[in-house]
Amino acid sequence: MITSWWAGLSLAMKILWGVTLAASVLFIIQSILTFVGADADGSMDFDTDVDTDLSNIDGGSNLYTFRNFVNFFLGFGWTAILLQSKITSTPLLLLVAVLVGAGLVAAVMYLFKWLSSMQQSGNINLYKAAVGCQGKTYLTIPGARAGEGKVQITIQGAVREYNAETDGDTIPTGTPIKVTEVINANTLLVEELNSYIV
């Protein structure tokens, strides 16, 4: 039955179905890879790159990406197939299909841009929230920024571990501390909490 249906299609419809089905399979694969943390990213020359950072997810700002080509042909192909019996004018059908394909590309780009801004915003808020948090030294912190130790602090309701430096004297393991500054994504500047007690 499928064979006879396929044989009855015109060459143009066979090409349209082939492109649409290929785009659909690629879209499903890309979606699975994205949600399990490995995004398939490609440029105009179809080079691939694996990236787990949402801020670099393909489709956020670059129009000419492999993902966007897949999204375009997904929207274009299914629109043309589903509306071919309802829109008798071929130019009008192609115009509608192109608009739907472009609309899908724009929607996906906007979605990934929004997700990227949410992640970046979350990171910034996290660092701001770390200043003033209290905890304890996990590994001794050398004084006068002579090296790094480790601290455990409670931040946003969770206990987290960071590298830490101090401007003051050496802070032994188990000493209560307070975060005074975020040096980078992994390192905090802390001071001994007991230094506030007179």
Does residue 67 sit in the same domain as residue 112? yes
Name which of 51-60, 76-85, 102-111 the model is least confident about. Answer: 51-60
Pair 21, 74: CB distance under 8 Å: no
Whichever domain contains 138, its CATH number is 2.40.50.140
Q: What is the rounded CA–CA span in Å between residue 131 and residue 134?
A: 9
- The residue range of the domain holding 57 is 2-128
Q: If pLDDT is split at 50, 70 and 90, which confidence band does 92 have?
A: very high
Does residue 66 sit in the same domain as residue 140? no
Residue 144: which residues within 8 A CB-CB, separation 6 or more?
A: 166, 167, 168, 169
- Calculate the average pLDDT of the chain: 78
Does residue 115 sit in the same domain as residue 83? yes
Which amino acid would we find at residue 63? L
Where among 128, 151, 173 does a domain terminate? 128
Element (H, E) at 126: helix 90-130
For 72-84, what is each residue's pLDDT tens digit? 999 999 999 999 8
Does residue 75 sit in the same domain as residue 26? yes
pTM comes to 0.48
Does residue 55 sit in the same domain as residue 97? yes
- Tally of domains in the chain: 2
Q: Is the pLDDT of residue 11 over 70?
A: yes
